[in-house]
Amino acid sequence: MTNTTKPLAAPAHVSAIAPYQAGKPIEELAREFGLDPAGIVKLASNENPLGMPQSARAAMLAAAESLARYPDPNGFDLKAALAKRYDVPMNWITLGNGSNDILEIAALALLEPGASAVYAQHSFAVYRLATQARGARHIVVPAQDYGHDLDAMFEAIADDTRLLFIANPNNPTGTFVPGDKVAAFLERVHAAHGDRVTVVLDEAYNEYLDPEHRFDSTALVRRYPNLIVSRTFSKAYGLAGLRVGFAVAQPALTDLLNRVRQPFNVNTLAQAAAVAALGDAAYLEQAYASNKAGKAQLCAAFDQLKLRYVPSYGNFVLVHVGDAPRINLALLKRGVIVRPVAGDGLPEWLRVSIGLPQENARFIDALTAILSE
């Protein structure tokens, strides 16, 4: 019998994708090094160390009663709560299976072979993945001081550019572009290119900003029909495992996004938990305060150890350790998981998510011991 097996046929741009490197799960490290999972500290995925809000847990358990049915495909309750919170009509909101889904949906709606997307060096890895999955061209703009160089990003817009991503604050570097600069950039892009270039303003870490840095990005959505503001419940709202995020954009753009999203992209438990979390101001305040204190704790330790770090506006800090693979392995052996960021073009750095005080202390003690070996 002749062997009729043929190689898998896939578009070259799909075969070329380097998959997303997620933070190592606690159970995986426990298996690999024979460690007790209870003693492992994970500071690798910018999750909320407080655990999910109790209000969201209660709402989720109540919603579990109806899991034999499909979720509400239009997410009425959650959209209504978001519309009220952000003072926009409900048809300006798109829900996503995490904000990652929003980024993918934007790429699906707007990119194709022959089009391009602009984003910054050392920015969120999913911009590359979403662009590549559509067979579109990448225009990666060199970072300035580890952050977005908006002037260079404006200049980089090409005739075939349809999408431009800004992460604000940025992951993995933690940098932030102030509101007046974002507004001036959007004005410039819109004046030069009209609605041809859609800007995604990815604000996954927005709730961690100090009050003096916060600005009203939905006011910008009202002004610019080519703007998508993307937010998540995974970070400050503590719901990463449930996967829920959302976009705010004017109706014409929202309509396009809705055409390509999965009909039931946000599950029942996630919708119910997100409504509760959105109303839980006390939890959000606690998450902000705990993060601010943890950031100070980590930065003080880095100062003490004379390690360079990028001042962070998010729930993580990027620190320069030199031989990052060696330090990372030594941390893993001590049961501490952080995030190597060589794949983001930062081979000498580690990204450390901000944990509870005792988790931060475990990391600091381990790092101090490793550096003095």
Ligand X SMILES: Cc1ncc(COP(=O)(O)O)c(C=O)c1O
Return residues touching ligand X (CB under 6 A).
46, 98-100, 124, 167, 171, 202, 204, 232, 234, 240, 245
Q: Rounded to the nearest whole angstrom, what is the least distance from the CB of residue 306 to ligand X in the complex?
A: 28
Complex with ligand X: residue 245 or 335, whichever CB lies closer: 245
Q: Considering beta carbons, is residue 124 or 349 the nearer one to ligand X?
A: 124
Q: How far is CA 247 from CA 41, 204, 232, 244, in A?
A: 32, 11, 9, 11
* Segments of 68-180 assigned E as strands: 93-96, 116-120, 137-141, 161-167
Task: Please say which residue, 171 or 370, places its beta carbon nearer to ligand X.
Answer: 171
Measured from the CB atom, the residue of 302 and 316 that comes closer to ligand X is 316
Q: Shortest Cβ distance from residue 345 to ligand X (Å)?
A: 16
Kindly tell me which of 341 and 370 has the beta carbon lying closer to ligand X: 341
- The Cα–Cα gap between 249 and 252 comes to 8
CA–CA distance, 46 with 23 (Å, rounded to integer) = 9
Written as one letter, the residue type at 158 is A
User: Distance from first CA to last CA of the chain, Å, rounded?
Assistant: 62
The residue among 132 and 171 lying less far from ligand X, judged by its C-beta, is: 171
- List phi, psi (to 5°) of 366: -65, -45
Count H helices, E strands: the chain? 14, 13
Residues 132 and 125: their CA atoms lie apart, in Å, by 11
Smallest distance, ligand X to C-beta of residue 163, A: 14
d(CA 159, CA 153): 14
* Torsion angles phi and psi, residue 303, rounded to 5: -60, -45
CB of 270 to ligand X, least distance (A): 11
Tokens of 184: 């001036």
DSSP track, 223-277: H-TTEEEEEESSSTT--GGG--EEEE--HHHHHHHHHHS-TT-S-HHHHHHHHHH
- Closest approach, Cβ 115 to ligand X, in A, equals 21
Min CB(237)–ligand X separation in Å: 10
CB 363 within 8 A of CB 43: yes
Q: Compute the least distance from the CB of residue 331 to ligand X, in Å.
A: 20
Q: Name which of 278 and 370 has its Cβ closer to ligand X.
A: 278
CB of 167 to ligand X, least distance (A): 4
* Shortest distance, position 48 Cβ to ligand X, whole Å: 11
Cβ closest to ligand X, residue 98 vs residue 147: 98
Give residue number: closest CB to ligand X. Answer: 98
Strands 227-232 and 245-248: antiparallel
Closer by beta carbon to ligand X, 220 or else 366: 220
